Amino acid sequence: MEILSDHCFAVDSINLPFEAPYSDREKEFIGLFNQIKQEYNWARLLWYKTSTEEANEHYSDRELDLVDTGDSSDHSLRESMLRTAFKAAYSLFDRIGFFINQYFEVGLTDTKVSFKNIWKEQLIDGNGQVYFTIPKPIMNTHSDNPLVKAMYWLQKDFYERKEINVTTPHAERIFQMRNDIEHNCLRTGTQSHNTSFTKYTTEEKIENNTFRLLKLARELIIYLCLAVNFDREKDKRASMEE
C-alpha cells in the first residue's frame, strides 16, 4: 500500500512569476516556457527509459534488414531513443537562449540567436572579423541581476572554440558528440576495422553526457525563472519609488 495517494514527488512546479490577467506578450512567454519545460520532460523521460528498462527487442527491430560488419553496432530502437534524448537535451539551451534574447531584449536576430551568442557583445566569424554588434548586451544592461550572472557562468560549461575557456572537462567531448550525431556518423559499438569518415562511441558515454546536459538544463530553467522574477521585482520597486 502506498503511503501517499498523490505522486507529489513527480511534480515539477516551476512557473514564470506573471499574474493573471496576462497580457498578450506574457502569454507568449508563458507558452515558450511551457514548451521548454515539455521538451525537458521529454528528454528526461527518454533518458530514464533507456537507462532503466531492459534492452528487450522491440517489434520495430525484428524485420530490419541490417548487414553485420562485425563492429557490434547497436541500431535498436532503444539506442535511437538514447540519441534522441541527447539531442533534445542539447537543443534546450538554444531555446532558452531564444527566451533570454526576447525577454531581456538583447537584439540578436534570426539564426544568430544561440545560447553561447546571447552572452556576447559582438559576433566574430572564423576569420576574426566582426559581423554583428549586439545592440543591448545582457551583461551590460542586466549586470545587477544575480540570476543573469548565474546563467552567464553556467554557459561556461559549454564548449565553442579552443581559445575560449570552459569550466568543465566534459564540455569539448559533449560538443563533439553533438556535432558527430547531428552532422556526421557516430556509431555505437566496437571499431573492428579502419574508418575514414565514421566514428565510434559507446551507449554508456551517450547516456552519461545526456545526464550531464539534463542536470545543466534543469539548473538553467530554475535560474531563468528566478531571473525574470528578479527583473519584475526590480521594476515594481522602481515604480513605487516614482
Cell of 196: 575514414
Q: What is the pLDDT of residues 118-135, one digit of tens each?
A: 999 999 988 889 999 999
Higher-confidence residue of 8 and 34: namely 34
Phi and psi angles of residue 125, each rounded to the nearest 5 degrees, phi first: -85, -175
How far from the centroid of its chain's Cα atoms is residue 197's Cα? 27
Give the span between the Cα atoms of 157 and 159, in whole angstroms.
7
d(CA 101, CA 146): 17
87: number of Cβ within 10 Å: 16
Residue 200, helix vs strand vs coil:
strand
pLDDT of 101 above 60: yes
pLDDT tens track for 150-167: 999 999 888 877 656 666
Distance CA 29, CA 177 (A): 31
Instruction: Return the DSSP state at 121.
Output: S
On the question of pLDDT at 207 being above 90, the answer is yes
What is the tens place of the pLDDT at every residue in 72-97? 677 888 889 999 999 999 999 999 99
pLDDT tier at 3, thresholds 50, 70, 90: low
Residue 8 above 90 pLDDT? no
Mean pLDDT on 179-203: 87
Cα distance between residue 131 and residue 193, in whole Å: 43
Is residue 240 pLDDT above 80, yes or no? no
pTM reported for the whole predicted model: 0.88
